[in-house]
Structure 1
Amino acid sequence: MNAQAFPDLDALREAGKAGLARALARLERSFGQDEAAALLDAADASPKGEVLGLTGPPGVGKSTLTGALVRAFRAKGATVGVIAVDPSSSRSGGALLGDRARIPSDPEDRGIFIRSYAARDRLGGLSDLAFGATVLMRALYDRVIVETVGVGQSEADVALVGDTIVLAVQPASGDALQFIKAGVMELPDVVAVTKADLGQPAKRARDDLEGALSLTGAGEPGWEPPVALVSSETGEGLDVLMSHLSAHSAFVREGGRRERRRTAQSEARLEAALRGLFGAEGLRAGRPLLAEAAGGPFAREAHVARLLRERLNGAA
Structure 2
Amino acid sequence: MRPLPSLDDIRKGGKLALSRMLTRLETEAETAEVAGFLDEACTNGAGLVLGLTGPPGVGKSTLTDALIRNYRSSGLSVAVLAIDPSSQFTGGALLGDRTRLQTDPDDAAVFVRSMAARDRLGGLSDHAIAAIAMLRAVVDRVIVESVGIGQSEGDLVQACDTLLLCIQPGSGDSLQFMKAGIMELPDVVAVTKADMGASARRAASDVAGALSLSRQMQTGWRVPVCEVSARTGQGLDDLVAAVSDHGEFMDRTGALVPKRLRQQGHWLRDMVRTRFGTAGLETVVKQLSETSVQPFGTYRRIALELSARLERPAAD
TM-score by length of 1: 0.95
What amino acid is aligned across from residue 284 of structure 1 in structure 2?
E
* Structure 1 match to 2:32: 34
Equivalence for 1:286: 284
1:207-286 map, 5 Å: 207-218=205-216, 220-286=218-284
Q: Indicate the SS of the match to 2:143.
A: strand
Give the CA deviation at 1:93.
Answer: 0.8
Q: Which 5+ residue runs of structure 2 have no aligned equivalent?
A: none
Which residue does 2:121 correspond to in 1? 123
Query: 1:16-51 CA deviation, whole Å, 9 max, x = no partner?
Result: 211111111111101132111111111111112110
Q: How many angstroms apart in 1 are the aligned matches of 2:70 and 2:185?
A: 24
1:141 corresponds to? 139
For residue 47 of structure 1, what is the aligned residue in structure 2? 45
Q: Distance in 2 between matches of 1:85 and 1:143?
A: 16
Question: Post-superposition shift, 1:293?
Answer: 6.2
Q: Secondary structure of 1:115's match?
A: strand
Counterpart of 2:81 in structure 1: which amino acid? I
Aligned CA RMSD, in angstroms, stands at 1.7
1:171 aligns with 2:169: yes
Kindly indicate whether the alpha-carbon contact (under 8 Å) linking 1:164 and 1:245 is maintained by their aligned counterparts in 2: yes
1:291 Cα offset (Å): 4.4
2:55 maps to 1:61: no
Contact in 2 for aligned 1:82/1:113 (Cα 8 Å) = yes
Alpha carbons of structure 1 residues 294 and 113: separation in structure 2 relative to 1, 3 Å: closer
Shift of 1:124: 6.1
Deviation readout 1:182-235 (Å, 9 max, x if unpaired): 221111000000011111111110000001111334464211111000111111
Q: Identify the residue that residue 152 of structure 1 maps to in structure 2.
A: 150
- Separation of aligned partners in 1, 2:124 and 2:83: 7
Give, in whole Å, the separation in 2 of the partners of 1:223 and 1:295: 26
Shift of 1:120: 1.2
SS at match of 1:91: coil
Equivalent residue number for residue 186 of structure 2: 188
1:7 corresponds in structure 2 to: 5
Q: 1:290 to 1:217 in 2, by over 3 A?
A: closer
Aligned-partner Cα distance in 1 for 2:260–2:97 = 27
**TM-score with structure 2 length normalisation?**
0.95
**Secondary structure of residue in 1 paired with 2:213:** helix
| Native 8 Å contact 2:36 2:297 kept in 1 | yes
Q: CA separation of 1:200/1:124 partners in 2, compared to 1, >3 Å: closer, same or farther?
A: same
Structure 1 residues 104 and 293: CA distance shift in structure 2, 3 A: same
- Range 40-49 or range 189-198, more displaced: 40-49
Q: What percentage of aligned pairs have identical amino acids? A: 51
Q: What is the alpha-carbon distance in structure 2 between the residues aligned to residue 225 and residue 74 of structure 1?
A: 25
| Aligned residue type for 1:274 | V
Residues 131 and 161, structure 1, Cα contact 8 Å, conserved in 2: yes
Report deviation, 1:90.
2.0
Matches within 5 A, 1:194-205: 194-205=192-203
Look up the match of 1:99. Answer: 97
Residues 53, 164 of structure 1: 8 Å contact kept: yes
Q: 1:51/1:295 Cα in 2 relative to 1: closer, same or farther (>3 Å)?
A: closer
Return closer, same or farther for 1:132/1:153 CA change in 2, 3 Å cut-off. Answer: closer
Q: Is the 8 A contact 2:122 2:148 kept in 1?
A: no
Amino acid at match of 1:278: F
> How far, CA to CA, are the matches of 1:178 and 1:294 in structure 2?
35
Deviation at 1:112, TM superposition (A): 0.6
Judging changes above 3 Å, is the alpha-carbon distance between structure 1 residues 172 and 17 closer, same or farther for their aligned structure 2 residues? same
SS at match of 2:55: coil
Residues 148-177 of structure 1: CA deviation (Å, up to 9, x unaligned)? 111415641100111111000101111112
1:25-81 deviations in Å (ceiling 9; x for gaps): 111101132111111111111112110011111111111111111111111111111
- 3-state SS of 2:30 partner: coil
The CA distance in 1 between the partners of 2:53 and 2:217, in whole Å, is 16
- Gaps in structure 1 of 5+ consecutive residues: none
8 Å Cα contact 1:52-1:162 kept in structure 2: yes
CA distance, structure 2, for counterparts of residue 225 and residue 39 of structure 1: 35
